[in-house]
Structure 1
Amino acid sequence: MIGRLRGTLLEKAPGLVLIEAAGVGYEVDIPYTTFFHLPEIGATVTLHTHFAVREDAQSLFGFVARLDRDLFRLLIKVNGVGPRLALAILSGLEPSRFVQCVERADTAALVKIPGVGKKTAERLLIDMRDRIKQLSGMPDTVSLPLSPGAVQRQDSSAVDEAEAALISLGYKPQEASRAISQVAEEGMSSQEIIRQALRSMIPAG
């Protein structure tokens, strides 16, 4: 089991990073909540990881916060929730907000996440009700400061990158474009546009 990875950030994109450690380049799947807090290319980065092995694939998933990784591991234990859907959930909801949904039986917020239907949302609420008690270190809000270099000058490429990221998460192009047009402002980085767009589509309760 690979539980932690520390190395040089060679490439980053919404959902995926390439990290070099001891001469080996590791491709790591990440949620957008981790993408928002990555340092600039060439900097040292540390991720808490989960290594998944299947008959047809081996995948490494990374998270900037251990809490996110722990919640990911609880999510994939739920029947019908695989690693990709767990990443989508963590991309749409920060851990504290997800816990709120479970405690309040808020299926409305969960079904707004691409890939989560009503039955899956109900199963998540039932199965996670006791499991979330296993999480330690849950703060009132999970919000890490943006790393130096994470803020970039906004131009059309920032909007395009944000739209592509939302589409890759599963949102329809029209939904992504509409959400971005409602939140994008001059000077915002693509990371901030994505963050605000997700918040507008899955509002806090």
Structure 2
Amino acid sequence: MIRKIPGKVWLEVGALVFEVTVPFTLTEKLPAPGQVLRLPICLWIQEGVPELFGFADEESRDTFRLLASLSGVGPRLALNILALFRPEELEEAVRSEDVEALSRVPGIGPRRAEKLCVELRGRLALRKKDRPRPPLYEEALRILRHLGFPVTEAEKALSEVYTGEEDLDALLREALKRLSPV
């Protein structure tokens, strides 16, 4: 890295220097100019203009791609979101529908925060399917399937209620509330 200012870094790669946009909060954590820096990068091309975005880790980069692909979000707002939330904090805010927390992001009001919760909930659940799940979650899923619930419905209900802090009985009780008609 040859230079940094809040929200931007310039990386020297061979004879080339690349300007990379990063979350403001990441800039302060980066080493001083002149030191070696490795950043996961996302190339974003909008209206024929390429732009590089850099992140602290691959999970942040993947979350950026997901956010930026949403209607009405784009790369700038996605970067603002990641400046305030780590990916796991964003997932928690979406799962708990914390509209107030999401509204703290510049450019997001209460209405847009609600819309983000709705749009992200399903996409984050799909992304989580690729990750290994805790034994408690797997046991609850096995029980729900044994009770005759379809896998997709059981997984959806569990993903909406699982926090990792409940015991098996509480997890099943909450999932069954979502699966059973009132």
Q: TM-score range by the shorter chain?
A: 0.5 to 0.7
Query: For 1:92, which of 61, 67, 84 is the aligned residue?
Result: 84
TM-score (norm 2): 0.67
Secondary structure of the residue aligned to 1:67 is helix
Distance in 2 (alpha carbons) for counterparts of 1:137 and 1:41: 36
Q: Which runs of 5+ in 1 are unaligned?
A: 1-8, 139-205
How far residue 75 of structure 1 moved from its aligned partner, in angstroms, is 0.4
Query: For 2:52, which of 52, 60, 80 is the aligned residue?
Result: 60
Distance in 2 (alpha carbons) for counterparts of 1:47 and 1:33: 14
Query: For 2:17, which of 25, 39, 42 is the aligned residue?
Result: 25
Secondary structure of the residue aligned to 1:47 is coil
Structure 1 residue 126 and structure 2 residue 147: aligned?
Answer: no
**Rg (Cα) greater in structure:** 2
- Deviating above 3 A after TM superposition, structure 1's stretches of 4 or more consecutive aligned residues are 135-138
Deviations 1:76-96 (A, max 9, x none): 121100100000000011222
Query: For 1:77, which of 63, 69, 74 is the aligned residue?
Result: 69
Distance in 1 (alpha carbons) for counterparts of 2:48 and 2:5: 24
Secondary structure of the residue aligned to 1:45 is coil
How far residue 22 of structure 1 moved from its aligned partner, in angstroms, is 1.3
How far residue 32 of structure 1 moved from its aligned partner, in angstroms, is 2.6
Structure 1 residues 172-187: aligned runs within 5 Å: none
In the other structure, the counterpart of 1:45 is 37
Distance in 1 (alpha carbons) for counterparts of 2:42 and 2:12: 17
How far residue 56 of structure 1 moved from its aligned partner, in angstroms, is 5.4
Q: Which runs of 5+ in 2 are unaligned?
A: 133-182
Distance in 2 (alpha carbons) for counterparts of 1:124 and 1:21: 37
**Contact 1:88–1:114 (CA<8 Å) still a contact in 2?**
yes
TM-score (norm 1): 0.60
Distance in 1 (alpha carbons) for counterparts of 2:29 and 2:123: 27
How far residue 37 of structure 1 moved from its aligned partner, in angstroms, is 2.5
Structure with more helix by fraction:
2
Distance in 2 (alpha carbons) for counterparts of 1:37 and 1:137: 28
- Which residue identity lines up with residue 21 of structure 1 in the other structure? V
Deviations 1:37-91 (A, max 9, x none): 2111111101111111122522110112111001001101211001000000000
In the other structure, the counterpart of 1:111 is 103
Deviations 1:116-172 (A, max 9, x none): 12222111101111222315779xxxxxxxxxxxxxxxxxxxxxxxxxxxxxxxxxx
Distance in 2 (alpha carbons) for counterparts of 1:24 and 1:53: 19
Distance in 2 (alpha carbons) for counterparts of 1:62 and 1:28: 6
